[in-house]
Structure formats: structure tokens, C-alpha cells
A and B are shown apart, each in its own frame.
Chain A
Amino acid sequence: MTLHVLDQLPLWVEGDLSAADLAAVEHHLAKCPACHAVAERLRTSQVWLREAMQPPFVPIDHEHLRHAVMAQIRTEAAAKPVHRLAAIRPTLLAACVASLLIATLIWRQEHATVSLPPLGVPSALPAGSATQTAPVVTPPMARQDLARVAPLKAPLRRPEEPVSSPIEGPARIEFQTANPNIRIIWLAQAKPLPEMNPTPLEAP
């Protein structure tokens, strides 16, 4: 017998060997007094280990620990209720998202129904000119209620200039589409007819 089992004894002593290894070690120990002595010392030291490492704490130590921990935990829980916050976090998030959505919808609705300037006949035009210059308009969108004829802009003409023609200045027609950001402006002006000054016929 030359092969000792010393390396396996620390595992053997607490039953950490596989069945095959255990059988081999047991077989060797039965025949080898040296290994058997080491095995016995290992057993003894394990007993001593368990005996020596019995914890020295008594119930009063446990109580002190409990008081210290609970005092600290109560303080922390009162200062920052982490668990309750964690529990309501999804609800809080959902409420925030819903509020944001509603606010966005209200904002969009308000901007979509921006009140337009009041419809009216342009004051700068003389009476009757509107009927002359404003063509019959067919709004491109279905929302006809938003279409209007805008007043003419006065600064197109200098104030001191006399009104020379009842059809002076373009007619301004605006269409407000359903999109509040898109407005179609149509400026229309009738060209004056060429002058019809009669030229004297040349005498033959």
C-alpha cells in the first residue's frame, strides 16, 4: 500500500466524497494506521471547531440589536416611505400621462377654433365695388364656414391720392382651412380695359 488518501480526508470527514471515492477511502483507512490517525485527528478538530465556535451572544444582545435596527428603520421609513412610493408609482405615472394627453387635446382644440376676424365688406371699397371685384368663390375645403372675404388693405394706396377708379386695389379673399396653420389668400384684381379714345380717321 503506497497510495495514501490524505488529500481526500478533509472531504471524507464531512461526507463530501462521492460514493466511489468514499468506498475507496474507507477501504484504505481500514488498512493504513497512519492515514487512520490523521483521519481521527481531523474528526477531533471538527468537533473542537463546532464546540469553540458556539456564538457568545445572549438574549439581551439580540434585544439590543433589535432595538437599534428598528429605531433606525422607523426613522428611515418616516423620512422616506420608499415602499409606499414604489407601490403607487405606476398609478402616478398613468395619471401624469392622462393629464398630459388631456392638456394636449384641449390645446389643439383651442388652436383649431381660433376666432377669425369678423367677416365684413371691406370699408375701403366704395359701395358696389365688392360685387364687381369679388368673384364667386368656391372654397377648396368642406369647411365653408371658415371661408371669408377679407377686407382690402388700405395702405396699398397713398391717402392723398384720389380714388381714381372704383375697381382700384385687389380683392382679397381668404380661406381658412381645417388646419389652423394653413390659410389660403387670394388676391384678385381686374385689369382696366384699354383706353378707347377715338382716333380721328385720316381723311382720305
Chain B
Amino acid sequence: MFHGTEAALMDEGLTSLPEASADDPLEPLICRIRAGDVEAFGDLLARTEGRILALAWRILGDRHLAEDAAQETYLRVFRSLNSFRLGERFEAWMVRIAVNVCYDLARKRGPLPAPAEVLDGLEGDAAPMAAEEAVLLHQRRALVRQALATLPLAERTALVLRDLEGHSTEEVARILGVRPVTIRSQVASARAKVQAFCSRLLKPTDGGRP
């Protein structure tokens, strides 16, 4: 991915992953797996599967596709574990693989389908007040997911990694193999689009640029 920028980034050393902390708990597991202890991979899974599943779901926006992506990610991790350089952050390496898998699956699937439930629920209905709040919450969540689904894949990935996965801008840049300024630009654009999407649908008469 990002083949066009790879050469320029190599010169700046930006394609390398973030460095691992001195007491990375995953490193002993990696050594055991490399030594042939296949069962140690189960421990690795147990420690990381939540984040990988969440990441795949946030990028792909589909539960079943996310499960497929997570499975494929772990298989790729297992097959290419010998190419991982100790000293780099293993989780960042795995996230990079997961993002690539998600891109592959997203390319195969095509554009994200808009969730049909979103706009249906915006109209008023005769639900009781107690249930109305829950319905509104559900609608709002679906709306935000739809807003995310309308973003270009690169912006969506940058936003997910930066704002939802909690990586710093520099870490996201290294994971994705682009410059930090690119990530900053993509994230800013994505935030503005999500805000505009939500404002337009939830409060059509309110807001707008000064």
C-alpha cells in the first residue's frame, strides 16, 4: 500500500515502525512462536484479538467482514512472523498488516453500503418516552457510522487509528507509511466531514459556517 510514497519515506526513515518499549509483554511470546511453540500463538491472540477485531470493524463497518479480516490478519502474522524485526512495536506491525487486509477486503467488496436503518428512524414515531431515548441513541449511532462510511478509505483509516485507536499522529504515519503532515490533513478533513454530516441530518437549521 502507498507504493508511491514508499521510496521518499525510506529516505526519511519513516517507514520503520514505532520502537517497542523495553518491557514489551508480547516479545517473549514472539520468541516462543518463532522457536516453534505454536500454542504460544493462542496467548498472542488472547492479548490482541480485541483490538484487531475492533480496528477491522471500524474500518470496514461490517461485523462479518471484520471477523474475516481479523482471521486473515492473524494468519498473515503467523506466516510472516520471521520477518518481524525485534525491537519494533509488534502491535504496530500487526496493525499495519490488519490495515492492509482491510484494504484488500474493502477493495473486493466495493463501496460501503449505507445503513438502511439510519434515515428510517429519524422521522418521529409514537414510541413511548422511555423507549424514545433509546431509539434516538440508536439512530445517532447509526448516523455517525454512516458518516464514517462516506469517508474515503484513507481518511477513514487515519481517523480510526488516530481518534479511535488512540495512536499519535506520528505513530499513524509510521504504521501507514506516509508523512505525519498527510495524516494531520486526512484526520482534519475526516473530522470536519463527520461533524458536517451529523449537523446536517440532526440539526438541519442549526450551524453552518460563519
Q: Which residues of chain A have a CB within 8 Å of any CB of chain B?
A: 4, 6-7, 9-11, 13-14, 16, 32, 34-35, 37-38, 41-42, 44-46, 48-53, 55-57, 61-62, 64-66, 68-70, 72-74, 76-77, 81-84, 86-87
Contact = CB atoms under 8 A, between A and B. Distances in A.
A57 B50 contact: yes
Given A57-B54, A65-B49, A49 B164 contact: yes
A10 B189 contact: yes
Nearest to B189: A10
A73 B38 contact: yes
B149 to A, nearest CB: 11
Contacts of A64: 67
B210 A34 contact: yes
Contacts, number: 141
23 contacts: A4-B210, A7-B188, A37-B210, A42-B192, A44-B198, A45-B194, A46-B191, A49-B148, A49-B159, A49-B194, A50-B163, A53-B58, A53-B160, A55-B50, A57-B63, A65-B67, A66-B45, A69-B45, A69-B71, A73-B38, A73-B78, A82-B79, A87-B36
A4 B42 CA distance: 53
Nearest to B164: A53
Interface of A is mostly: helix
Interface stretch (B10-18, B21-29, B137-145): B137-145
A173 to B, nearest CB: 66
B53 interface: yes
Chain B interface size, as a band, is: 35 or more
Contacts of A53: 58, 144-145, 148, 160, 164
